[in-house]
Structure formats: C-alpha cells, structure tokens
Amino acid sequence: MDLPDPVWFGLAEIAEQREIDVPWLIAYAIRDLLGTEHTRLAVARARRERVIALAREGHTDAAICERTGENRNYVATNRRKAGIAPNRPGRATAERKTA
C-alpha cells in the first residue's frame, strides 16, 4: 500500500495514541467500514451453500438438519430455491438395486 507521507504520519499518530501498529489501525478501520452487514451476508451465504452442497450430495433434509443444526423449513426452502428435489431415504439404494 503506497500512502503519501502526510497520510502515513497522520495514521502513525492515531496508532500511537491507541497503542497499536499502523497496519492494525488500517485493518480495524476497514473492518468498521465494511460493518456487520457484510459479515452477516457472508455468514448467511455460507450457511445456504452448505445446505445446498449437502442436498446435492444426496442427503435427506433430516440428515442435513442433523449435520448443520438448521431447522427443517430453512433446509427445505433453500433446497427448493436451488432447484433440488427432496432426497428420500432409501431411494438411491432402491434405484441401484433395480439398475
């Protein structure tokens, strides 16, 4: 990161007052600018992606709930939004036996 000297000196002064290093001051400022909304959205996306990945692997809604701790409605809603049909217990086994 290339900062003009006056900016760096200003940051150094603030960092010194707070008894931290300039890189940490910058990191904290960026985190505060991004705020909790960014973090909340990232967590929600990760939860949704995990549910969808497990559904694509063939897990039932109940098994996904057990593994993730999510409630059944959340799992079913996100699976449907992803266009994935419900996985029924024993369905894959029955299909393999007839094939």
pTM attached to this predicted model? 0.56
Q: Can you give the residue range of the structural domain that contains 57? A: 5-98
Closest by alpha carbon to 72, among 63, 81, 84? Answer: 63
Please write the tens of the pLDDT for every residue from 36-89. Answer: 677 778 889 999 999 999 999 999 999 999 999 999 999 999 999 999 999 988
Q: Per the structure, how many domains does the chain have?
A: 1
What per-residue confidence (pLDDT) applies to 54? Answer: 96
What per-residue confidence (pLDDT) applies to 47? Answer: 93
